[in-house]
Amino acid sequence: MSKGIVLSVLASSLFGVMYYFTSLLWPLSGAEIFGWRMLLTLPCMTLFMCFSGDWRLVPVIVSRLRRQPRLCAVLVASSALVGVQLWLFLWAPLNGHSLDVSLGYFLLPLTMLLTGRVVYGEQLSHLQKIAAVLATLGVANEVYRVGGFSWTTLVVAIGYPLYFVLRKRAATDNLGGLWVDMLLLLPIAWWFVQSGEQGFDVVNQRQALYVLIPLLGGISALALISYILASRMLAFSLFGLLSYVEPVLLVIVALLLGESISAGQWLTYLPIWLAVLVLMFEGFKHLVRHRRSV
C-alpha cells in the first residue's frame, strides 16, 4: 500500500509537469502533441516492461484474444476511453480549457468514490460522506450558474471511472492492458502528427523540439506507468482519494497560463476544494494508522 501511495503521488506530480510542458512545445498543436506523446510513450513503456518482467502480460492478452474474440471490442473501447483522456489533457492547456479540465480532476476522486460504492459495494466512511455532500453543493452551484458543466469537465470526471471499471471487468487492469491500449492508438497518433502543418518535419522548424519531444515521451511513460501500478496496488476508493494532488497542480498551471476563476465560479470551486481537503485529512489519518500498525 505504501508503494502504491508513493507511485500515485509521483504520477500526479508528473502529470502536472506535463500539463505545463505543452506550453513549451510551440508551434505544435494539441493534436500533434498527443500524436508525438503516443508515438514516444509506447517504446518507453516497452523497454520498462521488458526490464520489469511485465512484458509477459502482453502474450497473455493476445492468447485470450484467440479464445475470446469479443475481448477485441472491449480493448478497442478501453483504448478509445484512455485515448480521449490523453488527447484532452494535452489539448486543454492550449485552448483555454485548463480550469475546466482541472475541475474535472477535482471531481474525479469523488466520482471514483461513488463508483467504488455503486459498482464494487465499497462502504463510504463518515468523512467520505461529508466530502460527497460538499462536492454536491459545488456541483449544484455550477448547474445553477451555467446549466451544467463544460463537456471537458464531464469527460474527465466520468470517463476515467468508466475506463477503470472496464479494465477491471475485462481483467486487463495491468501494464499489459495499458500497452495494448497504447498500441491501438498508434495509427491515430501517426495521423495526427502527419496531418499537422509541418508533419514530421516540424522538428526542423524549431531545433529545441529534438530535445523537448523525447522528454515529453519520457515524462508521459513514467507518469502512466506509475499511475497504473498504483491503481493495482490500492483499493479503488483509496486510489481515488489520492488523486487530489493532480488537480491542485493543474489549477496552478492554468493560472500560470493566464486563465482566471470568475466570481460566480468560486461557489463551485470552494465546496469541491473543501471536499478534497476532507479526503486529504482522511488519507492522512489512514497513513498514520498504517504506520502505527506496522
Band of pLDDT at residue 162, cut at 50, 70 and 90: very high
- What H or E segment, with its residue span, contains residue 187? helix 175-194
> pLDDT value at position 63?
93
Q: Is the pLDDT of residue 231 over 90?
A: no
Band of pLDDT at residue 181, cut at 50, 70 and 90: very high
- What H or E segment, with its residue span, contains residue 269? helix 266-293
Angle between helices 98-120 and 245-256 (to 10 degrees): 170
Q: Is the pLDDT of residue 85 over 90?
A: yes
> pLDDT value at position 244?
66
Length of the chain in terms of residues written: 294
Cell (9 digits) for 232: 493495482
Q: Is the pLDDT of residue 289 over 80?
A: no
Which residue has 483555454 as its cell numbers?
96
Encode pLDDT of 28-66 as tens digits.
888 888 898 899 888 888 988 898 888 999 999 999 999
CA 21, 24, 27: angle at the middle one, nearest 5? Answer: 130
Report the distance separating Cα 67 and Cα 75, nearest Å.
14
Q: What percent of the chain has pLDDT over 90?
A: 19
CA-based diameter of the chain, in Å? 58
Q: Is the pLDDT of residue 17 over 80?
A: yes
> pLDDT value at position 236?
63
Domain of 147 in residue numbering reads as 1-293
Q: What percent of the chain has pLDDT over 70?
A: 94
What is the DSSP-derived secondary structure letter of residue 259? -
Torsion angles phi and psi, residue 287, rounded to 5: -65, -40
Q: Is the pLDDT of residue 291 over 80?
A: no
| The amino acid at 46 | T
> pLDDT value at position 179?
92
Average pLDDT over residues 94-102: 85
Average pLDDT over residues 185-214: 83
Q: Is the pLDDT of residue 170 over 80?
A: yes
Residues 6+ apart with CB under 8 A from 290: 1, 2
Higher confidence at residue 49 or residue 293? 49
> pLDDT value at position 158?
92
Band of pLDDT at residue 241, cut at 50, 70 and 90: low
Report the distance separating Cα 86 and Cα 237, nearest Å.
22
> pLDDT value at position 280?
73
Q: Is the pLDDT of residue 109 over 70?
A: yes
Residues 6+ apart with CB under 8 A from 205: 27, 198
Q: Identify the sign of the CA torsion 73, 8, 127, 136.
A: negative
Cell (9 digits) for 35: 500524436
Band of pLDDT at residue 80, cut at 50, 70 and 90: very high
Give the chain's domain count: 1
Residues 6+ apart with CB under 8 A from 146: none
Average pLDDT over residues 198-202: 74
Average pLDDT over residues 107-133: 82
